[in-house]
Amino acid sequence: MSLEVRDLTKSFHALKVLDRVTLTFEAGKAYCLMSPSGSGKTTLFRILLGLERADGGEVRGIQGKRFGVVFQEDRLCEAFTPLENVLMTAARGITRENARRELCRLLPEESVDRPVATLSGGMKRRTSICRALLAPSDMVLMDEPFTGLDEDMRLQVIGYIREKTEGKMLILSTHDPEDVKLLGARLVRLKPVSRIMETGTEN
């Protein structure tokens, strides 16, 4: 089932962030949302997640759907280990051993049982990504997930995301056009105070 955004508007006091945004996301497809900072990407995500209420317009196809989410902030429990953070939200059937094995694909094995507070920013980011991808979900939203990752790790994480979101809807915000190709995604450009959403496909 597709996700439809129709004439979505949102302002914060005198600042209009979204202006009649209309867009359709198809089930099972990957999308990269690109726009200058402050153009409403995070606000759009928060509306989709029910964390903000739009001033006007509607969203269709979202009722009853489960989301795996990577926010701009890592939002981890700092006193807990990466393994404990992942297990708190993991899908039913994912055992402790499963979760450890998945984390070790993105993190050094010795970091999996250390408190998150002792990890680097890049390790925290990878933990957040793993947590989102192992949670039960119909759709995955990622808000600039590659922040703090070097080039080699970014490529590794992109491959992991592609594997874990196969057959799911993925909407990911980024500032790097190369991510569109690497993810096999469709490009969506959101302009500041947007009246038109430009959509294209990169192969």
E strand residue ranges, 13-88: 15-25, 30-34, 56-60, 67-70
Per residue in 114-130, pLDDT tens? 999 999 999 999 999 99
Provide the pairing of β-strand 186-190 with 197-201: antiparallel
| CA atoms of 62 and 45, how far apart (whole Å) | 12
| Average pLDDT over the chain, rounded to an integer | 92
Ramachandran angles phi, psi of 7, nearest 5°: 50, 40
Q: Which helix (H) or strand (E) holds 141?
A: strand 139-143
pLDDT number for residue 1: 74
Mean pLDDT (whole number) for 51-72: 96
Per residue in 2-43, pLDDT tens? 999 999 999 998 889 999 999 999 999 999 999 887 789 999
Q: Which helix (H) or strand (E) holds 169?
A: strand 169-173
The band of 166, judged by pLDDT with boundaries at 50, 70 and 90, is very high
